[in-house]
Amino acid sequence: MQGPRVSVLVAESPLPVRRPPEHRRTGTVVRLRALAGGGLGAGRSVVLTRWPAELLPGHKKLSLSQLCTGSDQSIRTTEEPPPQESLLAAMKVELTARTSQTSKAGEETPPPSPSASAASPPAEDAPLLPDAGVRRRPACGRFSQRSGSFRREVSRAAAETFLLTRLTLILLRYLGIGYRWIRQFLALCCYTLLLMPGFIQVVYYYFFSSQVHRSVVYGDQPRNRLDLYIPTSTTGLKPVVAFVTGGAWIIGYKGWGALLGRRLAERGIIVACIDYRNFPQGTIGDMVEDASQGIAFVCKNIASYGGDPSRIYLVGQSAGAHIAACALLNQAIRECGEEDTSSWSVSQLKAYFGISGGYNLLNLVDHFHRRGLYRSIFLSIMEGEESLQKFSPQVMIMQSSARSAVPLLPRIILFHGTSDYSIPSVESQAFIDALQQQGAKADLFLYEGKTHTDLFLQDPLRGGRDKMLEEIASVIHSEDPDNSAQHLVVPVARRLVPEFMLKLAGKVLLGRFGQQDGHRKKKSFLKPQLT
């Protein structure tokens, strides 16, 4: 209720009024919004109370008709509640009046005795009034609340389903009928089916583990949500990873980071998987903005979840690596200029890890076109051909306007598989070379024979040792101030999918055509274009 609270003593109304549960102590019985032009003014909130006049000195009696006609000269605004003795006496009077009004006409029912109250116990959720008085609630109240909550959940699910269907139709209109993307889509479906035994276990962990805090709101947009993966140990502040997942800028979702979040949480690291708008719901500018807002939320609020605000690391995978790198560079450029940097600072990040990312879009347009992400839709995602340089981190750091921002960047570590044909490994190599030329601290880890999804999915599903995750964890824990990570016992991850299914899934997703295309394109990437 907005505005000052006005306590009005209604002495002339004999009608019983139900008292809302949130006003048990103040004696409020009903709320009334003043009519336009009335004595209280339009939009003012009024509280009507039925206290005996002798209990509230200084309050004048006022009828309901006088209130509606605007006679507000006798209304008194008070900030102090009535004395406790007055409240208790008024509750007794109201309880007695309500009991007598429910009796038959012409009969007078005495107040219930203590023995009668003990014989008929109150409802489970009914609050007690003074002197063992009971205010009973309707039995259907709880059911109505649950029904209303269920209806809201169904309405929300229906709205999200409608939105997803509409966006899918828009995307299909962009894609049209083409054998390349249809082939890739079918391969992705077969790949998912082969890894389904592991995905089911990860989904169960995602929805039912007490370590997962799902859909924490960080912004105003529909996709401004993030998932938190909290370690079981609660001793001391934990290092934090802000993770931006991949998905070809089209099918990205925060839930894709459940496996990475679980593995890092087992190593005593809090993981925040940031969701963002996908195309066609948003373009690359919207995605970078969402990622930046998610990072700002983590920097400002992670301490309330047991995280250490001074040890935050940024991780991105595939398209998420590109989006996170853009957000990082844009923030560094803003800090060098006169723009507002109150949301977060690059100095709050200890390092950036990029997994199988692409950092020069000028080299990737034709490559993605041959793999089913057609040139027209890719340029629509990237807001036109003229924006490719603007959203290419490798190109950005070579420009004179951004060179002064490079020293502000944290340590940059990139991971890539040499058999990655979705985004060739030379993309990471070229980005590292450009960073080192500008004096940035940058390192590259290449994994022989690993594909685009091996580092992020197949290797964690395989169980046992995971070289990339161990490298990330060692970098993070190397800066642990109390060296508690040295005593951290990390359980050996068990295998979630049989090995033959993992190998078959990799071959299905890669395919014979993808392998030929990758070898053919790898030669043209040896000399990346720098503008």
Backbone angles phi, psi at 213, to 5 degrees: -110, 105
Q: Show Cβ contacts of residue 340 under 8 Å, excluding neighbours closer than 6 positions.
A: 334
**Alpha-carbon gap, residue 255 to 212, rounded angstroms:** 11
Which run of H or of E encompasses 18?
none
Rounded (10°) angle between helices 319-336 and 284-301: 70
**Alpha-carbon gap, residue 261 to 272, rounded angstroms:** 8
Q: Which long-range contacts (CB under 8 A, 24 or more apart) does 65-71 make?
A: 67/8, 67/32, 67/34, 67/38, 67/39, 67/40, 68/35, 68/38, 69/38, 69/39, 70/37, 70/38, 70/39, 70/40, 71/39
> What does the DSSP 8-state code read for residue 131?
G
Q: How many CB atoms lie within 10 A of CB 87?
A: 18
**Alpha-carbon gap, residue 3 to 148, rounded angstroms:** 29
Q: Show Cβ contacts of residue 277 under 8 Å, excluding neighbours closer than 6 positions.
A: 221, 222, 223, 286, 287, 290
**Alpha-carbon gap, residue 94 to 51, rounded angstroms:** 8
* Token pair for 446: 């290449």
- Tell me which residue of 440, 361, 350, 364 sits closest to 394, measured CA to CA: 361
User: Using CA of residue 249, residue 255, residue 259, residue 264, what is the dihedral sign?
Assistant: positive
In DSSP terms, 216 is beta-bridged to: 226
In 99-205, beta strands by DSSP E: 128-129, 133-134
The amino acid that residue 432 corresponds to is: I
**Alpha-carbon gap, residue 274 to 291, rounded angstroms:** 7
Three-state secondary-structure class, residue 410: coil
Backbone angles phi, psi at 274, to 5 degrees: -90, 125
Tally the C-alpha atoms within 13 A of residue 21's C-alpha that lie toward its C-beta.
10
**Alpha-carbon gap, residue 333 to 406, rounded angstroms:** 8
* Token pair for 88: 């208790």
Q: Would you please indicate which residues are annotated as catalytic (active-site) residues?
A: 318, 420, 452
Three-state secondary-structure class, residue 241: strand
**Alpha-carbon gap, residue 312 to 353, rounded angstroms:** 12
> Could you tell me whether strands 76-77 and 6-9 are parallel, antiparallel, or unpaired per DSSP bridges?
antiparallel
